[in-house]
Structures are given as C-alpha cells and as structure tokens.
Amino acid sequence: MSAPAPAPAPPMAAPRVGLLYDDRMRAHATPDGEEHPENPERLRAIWRKLNAEGVAPRCVALKAKEAEDKYIASVHSKSHIKLMKEISSKKYDATRNKIARKFNSIYFNKGSSESAVLAAGSVIEVAEKVAAGELSSAIALVRPPGHHAEHDEAMGFCLFNNVAVAANYLLNERPDLGIKKILIVDWDVHHGNGTQKMFYNDPRVLFFSVHRFDYGSFYPAEGDASHCFIGEEGGKGYNINVPWEHGKCGDADYIAAWDHVLLPVTKVFDPDIILVSAGFDAALGDPLGGCCITPNGYALLLTKLLGFAQGRIVMALEGGYNLRSIANSVCACAKVLLGDKFTFNAPEMQPFESTWSVIQAVRNELKTCWPVLSSKLPENVSLRIRPSPSEVNASSDSESDSEDVAELLPTVASVNVIEVAGDAISEHLSKMKLDDDNLSVKTTSSCSAAEQHLVDSVKVQNNASVVLTKKISDLSLAWRSDLSRTDVWYASFGSNMWRPRFLCYVQGGKAEGMSIACYGSRDTSSPKGTMWKTVPHRLLFGRSSTPCWGTGGVAFLNPEINYNEKSYVCMYKITLEQFNDILFQENRLVLKDGKDGNVVYPDSPLIGSSEIKFISTNKAIHLEPIKDSWYSNVLYLGNEGELPILTMTCPASDIERFKSGELPLAPPSETYAATLIRGLVEGKQLDADGAANYINACAAKGL
C-alpha cells in the first residue's frame, strides 16, 4: 500500500502593501498659479497610473495623518515648526512671498502648512504600521518632499524632513516596536543634505545617498555631498555618499553602486527597517536630473533591498518632475512590493568609467569602517567613456530624450515580471573591476588651435560683465604649447597664499591640513616670481564645507571694487597654461580616470590669449561652461610689469545669493584659517596675531 501523497504546501500570503494618498497634499502650490516642477499634478499622475494598472486596489488604502509638533521637533527647531505651520495663515498674506524668497528654492501658499504637516505625519503613519507588522511594506505618496529640509531651514522644495521625522519617531518614540537600526536609502538625484546632517553622528541610522555631485556644482552644491563625508564620532562610517561626476548615469551605474557599496554594507549592518527617500528625478526624461534610470531599473534596485529587514520597506516620495516617468517608476516599484515578477532585459550593461572611479573612491574611504569593502574587486568589465560636456549639459527633456521616454515607458510600465534569467545581470556586474589602474578615458578633439573662437565666444551682458560661452572641448591640445609662452600673475587670496599649498596645484600632492591631494599642472615648473599686493576688494568666507578642508567656509573675493576695502593677495608669476590648470583644479575638472591611472585634464583652455584682451577691458569674465562652479569668475586686477594680474572667484550672482542667505556665509575651519595665517606670516605681511585678526574680521563682517 503506497503512502498517501503529502498535503500541498499552503499558499504564501500575499504581501500587505500600504498605499497612502490624500488629495489634501495637492493644496501646496505656487501662490499665483505659475508653473513649477514640484506641483500638485505629480501626485495625480502617479495615482491615475496606479489605478489604471490595477495596482491601487491591490494595496491597503491609507489616509494622511497630521504630524504632532513634538515628533517634528525631533529634527526641526521650534521656530522652524512655528513658521511652517503658520505661513499659510492670514497674518502672513502680505509677507508670505517675501519670506519664501529668503529661502533657497521655496514657495508658499495658503495650502502649504497643512500639506507639510500631512506629509510628515503620513510617513510616520506608514512607517509605524510596517514596523508593527500590520503591513509588509508601504508607499507614501507625499508632498512637499523632505530630504533637503534642515534643522532650521526649508530648502530645495522641502519644508519638513519627512523621512528623518519618521526615523526619529521609530527609534525614540516607539521602542516597543523593536526598531533599533534603520537604513535610509536616498536615490533622489540630489544629495539628501538635510537627512545627512540629522544623523551624521548616529550609528543607529545608516544613511546612503547616491546623487549627482558634478564636482560640487550640482544642487544643493555643497561639499558635504562628497564621498569624503562619512559621519563623525559614533556615526563615523554610517554616512555613505556615492557622488556621480556627471549626468547620464543609468541602470548599470546605480546597480553597480548597489552591488559594490550598498548591499555589502547593508548585509553587515542588518537593519530592522528600510526607509527609501524615493525621488524619481534620476529617471530617464526628468527635466532637472539629467540621468537615465528606467522604471525597471528602479524595480531592480528595490528588489535588491527586499532581501534585508524581512522586506520591511517604506517608500516616501521625494523628487521627480517628468509626470510620465514618475508615474511609471512608482508603478513598477509598487508591483515589486506586491510580489509581481518581471524580466529585466539589459543586453549591454555598461556603466561609465567615471562610475568605477567614484565607487573605488567610496570603498577606499569606508574600508576601515566596513572591512567588507576591502576585498578585491572582479576584473575585465566593459565600460563606457564619460559623456562629452555637450551631452551632459544638454537638457534632459530635449527632443531626443523625450522620444526615448515615449518609446520606452509604455513597454516597461506594462511589464510586471522580475526574472533575471540565469542571474545574467549579476554575472555581468560581478566581472566589474573598479581599481583605478583599470579605468580608461578616451578624449577626442576635432578642432584645430587656429579655429576662430574670439568674438562669438564672449557675450557682453547688460551690466558690462563678460560671459564666456565657448565649450571646453572647442580647442585642441595645441593650446598648451601656445599658452606656455605667455606669463601672467596669479593673485591668490585664500589658502594659496601659503606657498607650500599653492605648489600642490602646480606640482601635485597635498600640504599640511589638506584632506585631498591635488593633481598638479602639466607644467610643474615653480613660479618665476612672487610678490604681495593689497587690492580694493572685500574678502569673505562662504559655503559650509569642502572635501579638502571639511566643515567651514572658504575664501572668495567680492568681484565688485570697493576702495574702502583692502585684501591681501600673494601673486605668483606663472604661465597662462598653469593658470588654466589651477582654474581646472579649483573647479574640479581634473580627473584620475585613465587605464594607467593617468590624470585627465580638459582638452581646451578656459582662458586664452583672446580672453586676456577682453578681460583687460571688461575686468571680469564669467565662464559659461562652468557657470555653476564656485570659482567660475576670472577677475582682472590690473598689470604688474606689463603682465596681467588675474584671480578666480565667485560670480556677482553668488554674492547676491550670499547676501540673501540663499548661500551660507560661514567662518573658515581652524585648519583652513591656519593655512591663510601661515601664508600671511611667512609672506611677511602680518604677524600671527594680526593675520588672525584679519581673517576673523573678514569672516565676521556682513555683506
């Protein structure tokens, strides 16, 4: 007699996925109905897509809930909470717009206060239900977004930091839920500056942000988005930044960051819950992000996270401004959480070479904190060369990109399967080698040195300042030979006043106090002369941090002449070729990207002989190819021995942003200030006390 057949295994329970949507968060809008990327239609587009695909009915519907002040106060100041909660009231009707202008990229209307409190409370609501086991995972469709909002400041479309409020709530208000370690994954294309600062010393929170950095020029354009910022004190190693060097990064680049940085660290960290700051502005077709993640790319990134924290994942909406892209991407992620499968077909998974340079730098920075990142990486990977400047600078909602999105999105959004057959993607990515000496960059130049680039390379603005408009790739490498025969005086007013630090820009390496080494110039010759002057320009200290000097402001010279001001400059007689190499390095345009670890410079100058002629008349050139970089303005300070005196500083528009508070004025760090003092003392301009008083007075004086 045969044994009875075993009873079939009971079917696995379908995941209970929460979906929070509330029309009240659409009340936050521009005050006069003007167009803005962060607008109420973002939520409606997602909601329509989820219903059209039959996703919304399969989820547990949740309504928004206002956050209590005491929970918001875990990350924000009382004054900030008071202002955000009252800004929509009648008493601010006359001043609401004026107050908004004091912030960086913020608007208010009569619906802003309610929307902000609902957004913060909604993320608390869904996080609590997932942590308690009532839901397996959840998506909070909230706005305004939150990850840029800092302790005492709204910025970047964000009023309250929704994810940070929810994380603090789980850790500090609900210990009974057993949440002791939280992973926050921020895949918004912009750095999550606010969230980073709120948990920078906290080892209970592992914060991971992958974002465009563009050498510090991409919003929010602060140095603390660099890979060098890894946390402090007990939180050292628990802050991970993966900063892309340019746009056009796509699925392969993000998957590589997951496989070679995020996932190995997450396995060791072993979080109890994962909160995703789910911005979709790195999606293909986004008008602000300029990157190329597909909906299936987001789905795969999310799938890779489901293996941790028992799949307890909370997604909170952040950015994403192409309505079609954001709707399709959220829909693809919702299907993943519901357990649907999909096929990820990627025959050519080729990340950028720059991606490997960044990943290697991140691993090197963190390997002492996370030994799992010390292991040798695989070899023999096919990599793409970095995009040209014209490709990167092209609008991401250009005609060609729009066609790509129109062609791609209907297909990927309708696919609801995740089968990576034979682990083809993992196998391909496992072959990647990230060592610096296996990177390569191919540069091309199709222009001759003799090509005209004079009159039409410069635009004279109404304020008589000059804007350089030629592209970095317009000239051939023959320029180095030409400019090596032209001498100029480079006037330094910051750390380069100390000669050992200045020589790093010429000969490479780093001086005492520096965290990052310089690449040096192609011409490593020492300066042919040195002298000191004072100039009628105001010295100021701005921005909040840099990878080289850490937290604190760095020196800028107000481009406006003011004969009541006197600033010290140390002048070095160098070639115009060397001046361009210093300008490249100040604006982070020099890369170590080659197969043999070679240093790669831009293939044309920013300042040539023709620009010298223009600048001597117009006194300044704002360099359009790097217009968003910190030192994109070259000033003419006169002549010395018939040679022009040049320096580099911020544009006049940044001075206005410093005045308004949009950009921070900040005193220099002790290390940075000490470098300036050494320059002034060793240059015999001031004694130590006098130099310190000079620096302190400049840092303390308002604009």
Q: Which secondary structure element, helix H or strand E, spans residue 79, and what is its range?
A: helix 78-86
Q: Which two tokens stand for residue 661?
A: 């508070």
Name the residue with tokens 């997450």.
Answer: 266
DSSP state letters, 378-421 = P-----BPPPPHHHHHS-TTSHHHHHHHHHHHHHHHH---EE-G
Q: How far apart are CA 618 and CA 612, in angstroms?
A: 10
- Partners of residue 209 on adjacent β-strands: 186, 241
Q: Which two tokens stand for residue 487?
A: 């001498």
For strands 545-546 and 550-551, give the pairing: antiparallel
Long-range contacts of 372-375 (CB under 8 A, 24+ apart): 372/264, 372/265, 372/267, 372/268, 373/261, 373/264, 373/265
Contact indicator for 291, 283 with CB cutoff of 8 Å: yes
- Partners of residue 644 on adjacent β-strands: 639
Does the active-site annotation cover 148?
A: yes
Q: Which secondary structure element, helix H or strand E, spans residue 487, and what is its range?
A: strand 487-492
Q: How far apart are CA 335 and CA 341, in angstroms?
A: 8
For strands 239-244 and 205-212, give the pairing: parallel
Give the CA distances from residue 687 to residues 186, 680, 698, in Å, rounded to whole numbers and listed in that order. Answer: 48, 8, 17
Q: How far apart are CA 308 and CA 275, in angstroms?
A: 12
Largest CA distance in the chain: 111
Q: How far apart are CA 97 and CA 107, in angstroms?
A: 7
3-state SS, residue 129: helix
Give the CA distances from residue 266 to residues 305, 339, 493, in Å, rounded to whole numbers and listed in that order. Answer: 9, 22, 44
Residue (of 184, 194, 297, 213) closest to 251 by Cα position: 297
Q: How far apart are CA 363 and CA 369, in angstroms?
A: 10
For strands 313-317 and 342-343, give the pairing: unpaired
Q: Which two tokens stand for residue 165?
A: 């409020």
**Annotated catalytic residue within 76, 80, 147, 148:** 148
Amino acid at 347: P
Catalytic residues: 148
